[in-house]
Amino acid sequence: MPLLESAEDKNLISKEQKLSMLQLDLLISGELKPTKKGVFLAVEVSYNLHEEDIERSVERANILAHLLKKEVIPVLVSVEVKREIEIFNLLYFSKPSFIF
């Protein structure tokens, strides 16, 4: 991905961050209907959701937001979620962005 290669060459991200970004499952661009503001969804897909998945999703969204200079919303799609993680999501995020 040229954006990531360029960012690494300019020392905006580390090699580890670039490799992590290359493992992002899906990146979707769109706009928020009420404001027409352009946004991206950084989507992680996992059968079993773990706390590390949430942390990784947020980290990747933050890196992309820095590089793209746009809002990037972390989204997790999962089949099985522990109750503790559902509570963590509600406490940690003002707008829950996970699909269970």
Of all helices (H) and strands (E), which one includes residue 38? Answer: strand 38-49
Q: How far is CA 24 from CA 63, 69, 91, in A?
A: 12, 18, 24
Residue ranges per structural domain of the chain? 24-99
What is the C-alpha separation between 9 and 4, in angstroms, rounded? 9
List pLDDT tens digits, range 31-78: 988 899 999 999 999 888 877 888 898 999 999 999 999 999 999 888
Radius of gyration, CA atoms only, the chain: 14
pLDDT value, residue 67: 94
Check: pTM over 0.85? Answer yes or no: no
